[in-house]
Structure 1
């Protein structure tokens, strides 16, 4: 009987990396109001088009299959879109680097619904397509005219690496073997046996539902007892030890309701200590996936800018969006108290340690356009001061018509 350990490791590592939305920061000491507006639009469209979901699918796929890609393209209406490229769907990703390790070409091999083989290759400007055979040219690769893909760089974001359980596959195999042997032994010998000694009469009687056995031997030494099976504690200890090593080797912690002994609030430190393996593994994962996140955002922003121009919503979008310096990062997921976290941001902001902009970006309830909403509210409020009865100043907010 196979166990689902590999899938649970895959899901847990994906959660640790993608449990939070992508964290965006607009870099630059003095962004203009138009820059802030464009930045808010980008975050809104990122969320509306479920790019965090696409990112999570890519991570989940790579953790299970070894590689994954996200291809950005324009649909027939000129809208920027993305789709997952994975071996599970019949796509083979072939990456080509130069001598310095820089990516110069990304190729995708696949078969269409009719079974015809294709190879699509992308460089910084063009899409090159090859088709194998066909009715007119069987057994020959045919080159199609190259086409501009419309992005400033290769529109395919790829990530290749080991599967989530790569380092512990041998341990999982041993664990499954011992576990299945344990089940067979328990099924066959785990029930115990009734041991009867003596000369027992064939006519067995029942009294009140109980079976009465009569010993007819001359010495009268007959007896009956239930023999319990030997304790399987040694095998259970071995399984527990293997399971711990699987968690350590895969940087994954599995917590069940039975593992939580406290009925009150658990401190953040206790959570971090309990999930230190997950946090350590995810910390390395954030570093490994940083280039993936950067390119994903660059392609989305470039595609969105061109879409805005095509729709005549902003003819200068390519220039304006290209001027923005946007930092995008994965944020490690861990259980935490949102109220305490947001209160911490408020306290730090009031103490002058962090800016209001940082508090807006880092708190858990802000909308993508939160900064623009605050700016729209500022002109509607005029701050004045009034003296309380105790002699202290009190802030009064008024709208444009002077109403409190």
Structure 2
């Protein structure tokens, strides 16, 4: 048995749907690290929020077990009530106390914390989330994004062992989402609290997650590191299908305003956004932005061309498209091609090819 701290659970739940005669069935077994950010991803109705509520103890499952950092929260006749679980919870809506100022909302969390909250820790959290200027205001005087930042600070100041976040950006417009994503990136990089983050947004996962659980119709489709899971052919991501690569800046080209991004298997030239040498980056390459050639076309306008070996091809008879998985050194990249292109190029597993990467998105 490993001594590594984990969150492991198994839940079986059947719930009658009020709006139809059908039943929702959650049948899941999982094990995730007790560190970093784990995203629970899936479309509406997949069971994401139900699973989060079970972890929080807000919903009880007769057939279930949950062990968090070697502590049993649910098992057989054992059920640890929510108020005894060392959690912070951020809902889709901020749920602040309307009659209290932002400072008083934070005071409420500090009083509930099982461990002492130092003034320096409190200041650090308010600074990271950029809410220093909001502290004297009431919730009615705050925008949706500002309210959510205060709500996140309040959840952290409880000093939880585990932070649960249920689609915290779902009710915000795109501008506010982008704004809070920046704050969340800073927060997750600096606080040492495991986070379980429910979302149906691939973009949020790209920016924040270290690990991911993919759910569909109450079942677990895939789980593991965000780099491994997103490079699989069988994970349902739709138009967002693509891989995430982690690496660093190894060269800066001042003439063409580009930087050389090195990753496990090769390098890519990407637009320089005031990066510095050795700066770590995370990038996304969408399958739709990758084409394949059997030889290296040096006369192409595509700057990024990577030698690779095909490891898998997924073709669906009912679809004109195919997904090709190729190994680039120690990394995998996906390409979306037409089935006609796969046939005309005679692509097969084991073929050595060149991947032409038309676009790279910098996500962190």
Normalization by structure 2: what TM-score?
A: 0.25
More relative contact order in 1 or in 2 (CA 8 Å, sep 6+)? 1
Higher helix share: 1
The structure that has the greater radius of gyration is: 1
Higher strand share: 2
